[in-house]
Structure 1
Amino acid sequence: MNITAHPVVASLTPVFLLIGLGYLAGRLQWIREGAVKDLSNLVFLLLIPALLFRTMSAVNVQALDLRPLAAYFPVALGLLGASIAWRGFNRGSVVMAVGGVFSNMVMIGITLVELAYGKAALVTLLTLVSVHALILLTVSSVVLELVVAREARAGGERVPHVLETAWAAFKGALIHPIPLPIISGLLFAQTGWTLPTVVDKPLQLLGSAFGPIALVLVGVTLARTPLGGHLRQALWITASKNLLLPLLVGLAAWTLGITGLPLTVMVVAAALPMGANVFLFAQRYEVAQELTTAAMGLSTVLALFTLSLVMLVMSYLN
């Protein structure tokens, strides 16, 4: 068998080549730090909403398989809780636990899954993406706010009610450039209408620009990611994110009778490297910022090997 022709290699190679080019651009200062935020805004506020809306605007809600949600998120939340219990109930513990379960489904996952498995696989992935941040970030926000509240009470300060905190977290995760276009696209699809060409073509062009720009941006971010001094803890987080989570998700999906392409997409989604939202948590709560950055970089670099392994295993199981 020609290894270069294997579909796993064929789909992973362009993804990591683009990340590598972004890394080179970052190291050589072709894309400077001030431009990274602008490029991030371009990706999240314009390119990805166009891709998500257009993809979901042709999906009939009756055809959606919701079993992946029932398999994926109880496992992710269970691992999140176990990680917090293992490390202790504090800010750093919660942020590290989130790093061990939160996948980069958008900037890496969407392009990789489409390259490897085609547009049909995107329906399963986007079903997960639609509530990924909503569930994991909301729960994590509430847990972090409970930690902050406990610290504040210990200092004699007044803290908001837990329900107020939960609502604010839920609203922030819902009104977001990822869930909104998915939900809007699904609602549009149920009307039975089709997008007019004058609207569909610009959305298609914007969506096709998302993949390469997002992957180059991942590489640029990696070029500014220090690993020194945090390698051991970053390895634990990476092991949870890149290996343990996909194993547990795969077992949960198998017990629910999920097979074939949906099973593969779920396991690959779980095996994706750590998402950037974890750093935003660390930044907001002023804890473990350097460790989170190091873990994100290490998880992405090692994904070249761990993700290849997971995808090869799934290719032989299905």
Structure 2
Amino acid sequence: MGLLSAMQGFVVIAIIIGTGYATARLNIGGPSAQMVLNRYAFFVTNPFLMFAILSKEPIANIFNQSIVVAFFSAVATGALFLLLNRLFFHMGPADATVGTLNSLYLNSNNIGLPIATYILGNPTLVAPILVMQQAIFAPIALTVLDYAATGKISFKRALGQLLRQPLLIGSLGGILVSVISARTGFYPIPKFIYDPIYMIGQAAVPMILMAFGMSLHGTRPMENKSSRPAVIAVTVLKNVVMPLIAFLIAFFIMEFRGKVLYACVVLAALPAGQNVYNFAARYNVGTTFARDGVLISTITSPSVIALIAALLD
């Protein structure tokens, strides 16, 4: 029953992506609609969502031992893509960054939350991944993409880039409120302030998914023959290699068993996050590669998660 509910979550996501595609096909919103949605999600709704989720989460749930598995399995998978790129694909910094993100960046929001809820029975399991990706992987990747777009980089600029990331600011703000709540015993944000933050944040997922759907209009997935091997590689890395690495780390190094082991492997099998496309679109680099990697891994992920459920649950 839990697996069926999770598959229904994928259907919900497909419907929203399809709505974005239909919107673009009907030219609703004009030619700049996709860009506007991407920018609004990047600067407004995503940070609000992260703040709303993390501020309400007990700090002990945000940071737990499962983050060790998530971090090292992601780093190992990203390193494997960089190795493959050096040996076979020979992409530039921008596309290589997008490929690395497609290999290791989990869709922890709009797919991770339903799967954690319906399959794993605990939506807070995605909280450490949210923090890890926003506080570590996203700032590094965005700094590289910024360099690819501007051709300039310095330590001062990199630090400023890190501090200017809306997603990171929203995440750190939420963590700070969570710490205050744990210390004082009550939630310090008044309801009349939290409610609009939460409401705006709720728009993040449909905005990103609809923008992603809009990007599909007028193009065909995998139409760029030169990038097909790389797209296939990131899909295999994301959907097969990363959960396998997570299993090895969780089972043999962390000595997790039962539900904890199962959760680590299922979460590692999540598809690449739509934020990867959002990041690429923000800097107008590697957008086709990002779109194809996200789309193909999203299509194949349910089958992999079903197999993991059959083997470990």
Tell me if TM exceeds 0.5.
Answer: yes
Judged with a 3 Å threshold, the aligned counterparts in structure 2 of structure 1 residues 278 and 299 are, in CA distance, closer, same or farther, namely: closer
- Contiguous gaps of at least 5 residues in structure 2: none
Out of 77, 80, 84, the position equivalent to 1:86 is 84
Q: Which residue of the partner structure matches residue 105 of structure 2?
A: 103
Q: Which residue of the partner structure matches residue 118 of structure 1?
A: 117
Paired residue type of 1:95? T
The 2-side partners of 1:6 and 1:115 are apart by 11
Q: Matched residue of 2:111: which SS? A: helix
Paired residue type of 1:196? P
1:224-239 alignment runs, 5 A limit: 225-226=219-220, 227-230=222-225, 231-239=228-236
Judged with a 3 Å threshold, the aligned counterparts in structure 2 of structure 1 residues 145 and 78 are, in CA distance, closer, same or farther, namely: farther
The 2-side partners of 1:218 and 1:129 are apart by 20
Contact 1:234 1:294 in 2 (8 A): no
Contact 1:130 1:178 in 2 (8 A): no
Give me the TM-score of the superposition, normalised by structure 1. 0.75
Q: Which residue of the partner structure matches residue 196 of structure 1?
A: 190
Q: Which residue of the partner structure matches residue 287 of structure 2?
A: 293
The number of residue pairs the alignment matches comes to 295
The 2-side partners of 1:262 and 1:54 are apart by 28
Shift of 1:211: 2.8
Which is further off, 22-31 or 297-306?
297-306
1:80-229 alignment runs, 5 A limit: 80-88=78-86, 91=92, 94-95=96-97, 97-103=99-105, 105=107, 109-118=108-117, 121-137=122-138, 164-165=154-155, 168-169=157-158, 171-192=160-181, 193-194=186-187, 195-223=189-217, 225-226=219-220, 227-229=222-224
Contact 2:97 2:144 in 1 (8 A): no
Shift of 1:216: 1.6
- Contiguous gaps of at least 5 residues in structure 1: 153-158
Which is further off, 225-234 or 30-39?
225-234
Contact 2:246 2:265 in 1 (8 A): yes
The 1-side partners of 2:77 and 2:136 are apart by 14
Contact 2:139 2:165 in 1 (8 A): no
Shift of 1:172: 2.1
Shift of 1:82: 3.0
Shift of 1:220: 1.2
Shift of 1:54: 1.9
Deviation per CA, 1:205-238: give whole Å up to 9, x if none.
2233333233222211232555323333322232
Q: Matched residue of 2:57: which SS? A: coil
Deviation per CA, 1:108-161: give whole Å up to 9, x if none.
x312233333397443323212231443355557889999xxxx9xxxxxx97x
The 2-side partners of 1:261 and 1:220 are apart by 38
Shift of 1:22: 1.2
Paired residue type of 2:133? H
Judged with a 3 Å threshold, the aligned counterparts in structure 2 of structure 1 residues 190 and 133 are, in CA distance, closer, same or farther, namely: closer
Shift of 1:14: 0.6
Q: Which residue of the partner structure matches residue 156 of structure 1?
A: none
Paired residue type of 1:175? R
The 2-side partners of 1:60 and 1:52 are apart by 14
Computed over aligned residues only, the root mean square deviation of the Cα atoms, in angstroms, reads: 3.7
Judged with a 3 Å threshold, the aligned counterparts in structure 2 of structure 1 residues 23 and 145 are, in CA distance, closer, same or farther, namely: closer
Q: Percent identity?
A: 16
The 1-side partners of 2:278 and 2:62 are apart by 32
Q: Matched residue of 1:33: which SS? A: coil
Contact 2:271 2:301 in 1 (8 A): yes
* 1:49 aligns to 2:47 (yes or no): yes
Shift of 1:283: 8.9
Paired residue type of 2:246? V
